Amino acid sequence: MNKYETVFIINPNIEDAGVKALIEKFSNLINDDGKVETVEELGKKKLAYEIKKHKEGNYVVINFEANPERIKELERIYRITDEVIKFIVVKKDEE
């Protein structure tokens, strides 16, 4: 298993309960075939540029271990989840 970090930005109009539900959904997806190490909710922040007519968004960072095949599925779910306005998954270097 490789170590990864994912950052996703959630629509700022989503309530706190909705944000928590999305974090749980993605954490469970990762835990199906990997292991979530840390979840960091950074809260609402101003975006560098407008994305989908939003000037701010709720930032979430998850550090995790997973098999490379799981990343494709995670990115697919991000794309079809309307509340997620932007995301990135990066492989961390072994330290």
Which of 59, 5, 83, 14 shows the shortest CA–CA distance to 37? 5
Question: What is the domain extent for residue 51?
Answer: 2-91
Q: What is the mean pLDDT of residues 78-95?
A: 89
Q: How many residues does the chain have?
A: 95
Q: What is the pLDDT of residue 69?
A: 87
Domain count, the chain: 1
Report how far residue 3's alpha carbon sits from residue 65's, in angstroms, rounded to the nearest whole number.
4
Question: Is the pTM higher than 0.75?
Answer: yes
Which run of H or of E encompasses 82? Answer: none
Token pair for 69? 């095949």
For residue 87, the model assigns a pLDDT of 95
CATH code of 69's domain: 3.30.70.60
**Rounded-to-integer distance, Cα 81 and Cα 88, Å:** 14
What is the pLDDT, as a whole number, of residue 95? Answer: 60
